[in-house]
């Protein structure tokens, strides 16, 4: 690359900038004197001064040792300028020549396994090395099958489905060296297991995952095995069609767009149903699989003397793999998957059509690369940018080709690799019901890709943003908020630059419209990541009214009790002083009692509400400088806040109201403080939800505010995370009976509480969705809300309802009674774990050796 200024071998690598002291001239003089005395001159004239660079004799080149050479070749396979077939043949020869070296053999096979798991793009090329190695030394294939099958069996036993799929793909790429039907016998056994699982439970998801693995393995087996296996593939495809056509209840909740909208950019596509259709189409066209790299089975023999190779390559039995019973579903919950694309099936074909099997094959490899190498986003970004190296020549157009060029050529060129990369990353960022990794990983991956190839990635990314923005009004609400978080975060990494002028025409829309709400929310998120004055300078002047002017001053929000006309102003100011000076509890109580007395005189039903408002507002004012300040203030007032929360439901909700009111211009801060209060158990999750859908709901306008969704989603996530932790604690082998009973009791109580929470949310937003909310009916009747505004609010209610019905269904599938019981039965069927190495037998009594502090406590 141009950025790398790597000096070639033989160049002088010394720094010539004059650093390192004043001895430079002396060194040069000494070198000249040495030159005059060392005899390197012609007697017919004065000695010639050597060139400044390369002034020594040529370096002696030593041959590279076999192990580092093969290691380098394996790690860099398919990324060199050498044609893949020639490269893999040379690697096979080198491996065969040094196969008797036990250390080399062990090291190379360890690398092979690691590459299969972490770098799926390279699997066909790695398999080609082993395939050609069979011609050189058949023991290469024997050892490979031994090692790979052992790792495959481990992955299958543990329910590590991605790893199992990748190991099976590698075995499929060696289909040409197997006896009889090779891998298809095992694929048939896998399908028989699916039938058993579906018979026991028609909504089983493990069987769906296995069918997906079968369908994704068939193409690689056929490319490697050739025409003689077409019949087996067709028969298997016929069988899988029964399962692929099933629709699970969860699938109705993972649509990326509103189901009944005619504007949906792409209809819902189940991954396995789509694969089934694509493979059927491929069968009709002769199973070509043009995108998968093809290798000539006879290439090794064509480049070598026939006498140096065996008369015929040795065939091998497909390794024996045992499918466990019961099948381990794995450590992570499984859900049906939908195929999501931003660029598919458009007039200009920059990515494969959804009817083309290449769409699924390339997407699957990209997603696996993203998932399996999440520990190094820089390397992942480099692999993604270089995606065209790992597929058949001609699959992709030249990197960085402009979209307008595609338009001019009318789709006559191959696909656009940058579009496929961005499409795949967004498919994971916007995956329902949940992404595989933390969302920030996908944020950073897109950022890194832009840095690796800005000229190529940036235009595709801009088109993706515009595509998502156009569909905001019909997109799933959870996905809108994920897009919002990514968009603001991404702009913060690139100086907040975006063509806001493209969206100016939407500023005239009502704040209830999804596009206007998105713009307001994006500006708020950007201010959180910078400061208001900076953000104001990056947007058009027409957008300035959306940023509160008060934020330009970068001061703490006003303390409302400084206004003498505010009720209880004197007491509020006194509380602030007492908190600042850390007054005694008695002094603080005296001030609060004064508020209670005045509240009773004013006829306020619950005098604890105004005193709570004053106390919490004072805490917010005192802690406004920073997060550490507010934490300190909450710690100082924790006992009183807990007492308030236990005394009055209205006062509990007032805690939330006071925080939000104080930070009304910076709601992100309010959301963070509410999160802290939940952590301290000062607030219960149901309290936050009751305030949102009760006191703050209005006619449903609150549902359009992104910070409200953020607050509710954070609250629900805390509840579900705790339930999962309790369920995980229950799924420990060998728990004493008293601990089992304690965990079961806790899980039952918390599970019921979460169901109550979800029920409350669902009922509240469903009332808005159906137009049954009292305030919505009233405002629409008296003309405060137009018919169009009321319709927008009802649409928001429907989208909220879909999100939280889905979240409730997901939690039932993970921590519900049936799900936990199934896991417990599976746990009981597992073999007993090996003895703890810290446990020793002393006089027949097992004791645990002490080892200092226990990190669990």
Q: Is residue 261 part of a domain?
A: yes
Output the pLDDT for position 169.
98
What are the phi and psi torsion angles at 56 (to 5°)? -110, 170
- Using an 8 Å Cβ cutoff, are 387 and 417 in contact? yes
What one-character-per-residue DSSP string does 600-628 give? HHTT-S-THHHHHHHHHHHHHHHTTT-HH
Q: Is residue 62 part of a domain?
A: no
* Three-state SS at 843: coil
User: pLDDT tier at 673 (50, 70, 90 boundaries)?
Assistant: very high
Output the pLDDT for position 69.
94
Number of domains in the chain: 2
- 313 or 324: which leads in pLDDT: 324
Q: Which residue has the tokens 């969705």?
A: 769
Q: What is the dihedral of CA 53, 56, 58, 60, to 10 degrees?
A: -120
- Using an 8 Å Cβ cutoff, are 419 and 362 in contact? no
Estimate the crossing angle of helix 439-452 against helix 454-470, to 10 degrees. 140
Cα(537)–Cα(544) distance, rounded to whole angstroms? 9
Residue 393 CB contacts under 8 Å (≥ 6 apart), including other chains: none
Q: Left, alpha or beta for 411 (phi > 0: left; psi -120 to 50: alpha)?
A: left
603-624: average pLDDT: 95
Q: What are the pLDDT digits (tens) for 795-830?
A: 999 999 999 999 999 999 999 999 999 899 888 887
The helix (H) or strand (E) run that includes residue 339 is: none
Q: Is residue 587 part of a domain?
A: no
Q: Which residue has the tokens 């998502």?
A: 468
Residue 111 CB contacts under 8 Å (≥ 6 apart), including other chains: 71, 74, 75
In degrees, rounded to 5, the angle at the alpha carbon of residue 316 between the alpha carbons of residues 313 and 321 is 155
- 540 or 38: which leads in pLDDT: 540
314-328: average pLDDT: 95
Q: What are the pLDDT digits (tens) for 485-496?
A: 999 999 999 999
- Is pLDDT of 833 > 90? no
State the chain's maximal CA–CA distance in angstroms.
120
108-118: average pLDDT: 97
User: pLDDT tier at 856 (50, 70, 90 boundaries)?
Assistant: very low
- Using an 8 Å Cβ cutoff, are 331 and 159 in contact? yes
Q: Is residue 270 part of a domain?
A: yes
Output the pLDDT for position 421.
97
- Using an 8 Å Cβ cutoff, are 617 and 662 in contact? yes
- Using an 8 Å Cβ cutoff, are 425 and 442 in contact? yes
Q: Is residue 753 part of a domain?
A: yes
Cα(600)–Cα(606) distance, rounded to whole angstroms? 8
DSSP character at residue 475: B
Cα(699)–Cα(708) distance, rounded to whole angstroms? 14
Output the pLDDT for position 35.
41
> Between β-strands 845-848 and 839-842, what pairing exists: parallel, antiparallel or unpaired?
antiparallel
pTM: 0.88
Nearest-CA neighbor of 338 among 202, 261, 211, 433? 433
Q: Is residue 55 part of a domain?
A: no
Percentage of the chain with pLDDT > 90?
Answer: 79
Nearest-CA neighbor of 696 among 615, 764, 614, 753? 764
Q: What are the pLDDT digits (tens) for 128-167?
A: 999 999 999 999 999 999 999 999 999 999 999 999 999 9
Q: Is residue 224 part of a domain?
A: yes
Q: What is the CATH number of the domain that holds 747?
A: 1.25.40.180
Q: What are the pLDDT digits (tens) for 537-585?
A: 999 999 999 999 888 887 889 999 999 999 999 999 999 999 999 999 9
> Among 1-15, 217-231, 373-387, 795-809, which stretch is predicted with the lowest mean pLDDT?
1-15
Q: What are the pLDDT digits (tens) for 682-735?
A: 999 999 999 999 999 999 999 999 999 999 999 999 999 999 999 999 998 888
Q: Is residue 643 part of a domain?
A: yes
Residue that is last in its domain, among 267, 291, 315 = 291
Cα(419)–Cα(343) distance, rounded to whole angstroms? 7
User: pLDDT tier at 832 (50, 70, 90 boundaries)?
Assistant: low
Q: Which residue has the tokens 């000076």?
A: 581
Output the pLDDT for position 30.
42
* Three-state SS at 723: helix
Q: What are the pLDDT digits (tens) for 222-281?
A: 999 999 999 999 999 999 999 999 899 999 999 999 987 888 888 899 999 999 999 999
User: pLDDT tier at 411 (50, 70, 90 boundaries)?
Assistant: low
Mean residue pLDDT across the chain: 89
841-853: average pLDDT: 39
- Is pLDDT of 637 > 50? yes
> Among 9-23, 107-121, 259-273, 469-483, which stretch is predicted with the lowest mean pLDDT?
9-23
Count CB-CB contacts under 10 A for residue 614.
25
> Among 16-25, 322-331, 743-752, which stretch is predicted with the lowest mean pLDDT?
16-25
Q: What are the pLDDT digits (tens) for 175-203?
A: 999 999 999 999 999 999 999 999 999 88
- Using an 8 Å Cβ cutoff, are 808 and 715 in contact? no
Distances in Å between the alpha carbon of 93 and those of 303, 314, 809, 837? 11, 16, 55, 44
283-306: average pLDDT: 86
Output the pLDDT for position 298.
87
592-617: average pLDDT: 95
Token reading at 187: 């694929």
Residue that is last in its domain, among 247, 267, 291 = 291
Estimate the crossing angle of helix 477-493 against helix 706-730, to 10 degrees. 100
Note down the domain range covering 654.
618-829
Residue that is last in its domain, among 233, 256, 291 = 291
């Amino acid at each position: 690359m141009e950025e790398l200024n790597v000096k070639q071998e033989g160049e002088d690598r010394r720094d010539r900038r004059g650093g390192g002291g004043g001895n430079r001239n002396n060194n040069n003089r000494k070198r000249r004197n040495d030159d005059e005395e060392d005899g390197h001159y012609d007697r017919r004239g004065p000695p010639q001064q050597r060139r400044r660079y390369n002034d020594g004799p040529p370096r002696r080149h030593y041959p590279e040792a076999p192990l580092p050479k093969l290691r380098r070749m394996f790690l860099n396979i398919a990324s060199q300028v050498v044609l893949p077939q020639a490269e893999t043949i040379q690697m096979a020869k080198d491996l065969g020549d040094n196969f008797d070296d036990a250390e080399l053999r062990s090291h190379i096979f360890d690398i092979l396994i690691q590459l299969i798991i972490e770098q799926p793009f390279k699997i066909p090329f790695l398999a080609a090395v082993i395939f050609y190695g069979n011609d050189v030394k058949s023991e290469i294939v024997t050892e490979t099958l031994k090692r790979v099958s052992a790792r495959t069996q481990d992955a299958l036993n543990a329910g590590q489905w991605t790893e199992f799929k990748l190991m099976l793909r590698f075995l499929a790429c060696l289909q040409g060296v197997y006896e009889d039907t090779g891998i298809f016998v095992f694929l048939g056994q896998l399908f028989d297991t699916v039938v058993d699982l579906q018979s026991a439970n028609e909504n089983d998801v493990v069987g769906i995952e296995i069918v997906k693995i079968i369908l994704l393995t068939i193409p690689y087996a056929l490319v490697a095995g050739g025409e003689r296996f077409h019949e087996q593939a067709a028969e298997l495809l016929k069988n899988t069609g029964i399962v692929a056509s099933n629709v699970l209840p969860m699938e109705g909740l993972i649509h990326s767009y509103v189901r009944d909208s005619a504007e949906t950019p792409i209809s819902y596509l189940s991954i396995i149903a789509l694969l089934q259709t694509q493979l059927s189409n491929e069968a009709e066209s002769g199973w070509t699989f043009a995108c998968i790299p093809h290798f000539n089975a006879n290439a090794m023999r064509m480049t070598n003397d026939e006498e140096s190779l065996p008369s015929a390559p040795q065939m091998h039995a497909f390794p024996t793999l045992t499918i466990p019973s019961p099948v381990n579903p794995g450590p992570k919950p499984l859900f049906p998957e939908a195929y999501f694309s931003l660029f598919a099936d458009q007039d200009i074909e920059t990515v494969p059509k959804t009817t083309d099997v290449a769409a699924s094959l390339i997407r699957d490899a990209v997603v696996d690369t993203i998932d399996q190498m999440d520990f190094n986003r820089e390397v992942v970004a480099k692999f993604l940018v270089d995606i065209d190296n790992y597929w058949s020549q001609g699959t992709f157009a030249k990197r960085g080709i402009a979209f307008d060029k595609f338009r001019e050529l009318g789709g006559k060129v191959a696909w656009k690799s940058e579009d496929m990369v961005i499409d795949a990353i967004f498919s994971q960022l916007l995956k329902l019901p949940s992404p595989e990794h933390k969302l920030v990983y996908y944020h950073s991956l897109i950022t890194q890709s832009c840095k690796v190839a800005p000229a190529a990635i940036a235009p595709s990314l801009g088109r993706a943003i515009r595509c998502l923005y156009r569909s905001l009004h019909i997109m799933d609400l959870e996905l809108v908020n994920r897009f919002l978080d990514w968009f603001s975060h991404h702009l913060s990494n690139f100086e907040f630059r975006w063509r806001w002028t493209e969206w100016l025409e939407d500023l005239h829309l009502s704040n209830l419209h999804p596009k206007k709400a998105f713009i307001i929310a994006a500006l708020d998120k950007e201010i959180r990541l910078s400061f208001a004055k900076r953000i104001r300078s990056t947007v058009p002047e027409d957008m300035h009214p959306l940023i509160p002017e008060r934020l330009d001053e970068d001061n703490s929000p006003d303390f409302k009790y400084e206004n003498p006309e505010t009720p209880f102003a004197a007491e509020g100011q006194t509380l602030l002083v007492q908190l600042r000076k850390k007054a005694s509890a008695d002094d603080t109580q005296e001030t609060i009692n004064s508020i209670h007395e005045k509240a009773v005189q004013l006829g306020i039903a619950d005098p604890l509400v105004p005193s709570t408002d004053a106390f919490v507002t004072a805490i917010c004012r005192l802690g406004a400088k920073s997060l550490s300040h507010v934490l300190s203030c909450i710690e100082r007032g924790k006992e009183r806040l807990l007492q308030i929360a236990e005394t009055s439901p209205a006062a509990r909700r007032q805690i939330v109201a006071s925080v939000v009111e104080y930070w009304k211009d910076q709601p992100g801060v309010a959301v963070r403080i509410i999160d802290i209060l939940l952590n301290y158990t000062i607030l219960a999750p149901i309290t936050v939800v009751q305030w949102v859908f009760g006191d703050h709901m209005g006619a449903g306008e609150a549902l359009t505010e992104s910070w409200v969704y953020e607050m509710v989603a954070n609250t629900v996530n805390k509840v579900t995370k705790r339930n999962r932790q309790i369920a995980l604690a229950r799924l420990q082998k060998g728990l004493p009976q008293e601990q089992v009973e304690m965990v079961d009791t806790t899980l039952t109580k918390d599970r019921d509480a979460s169901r109550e929470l979800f029920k409350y949310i669902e009922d509240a937003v469903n009332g808005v969705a159906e137009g049954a909310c009292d305030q919505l009916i009233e405002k629409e009747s008296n003309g405060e809300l137009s018919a169009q505004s009321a319709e927008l609010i009802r649409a928001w209610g429907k989208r909220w309802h879909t999100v939280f019905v889905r979240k409730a269904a997901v939690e039932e599938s993970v921590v519900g009674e049936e799900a936990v019981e199934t896991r417990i039965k599976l746990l009981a069927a597992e073999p007993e774990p090996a003895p703890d190495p810290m446990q020793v037998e002393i006089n027949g009594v097992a004791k645990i050796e002490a080892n200092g502090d226990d990190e669990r406590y």
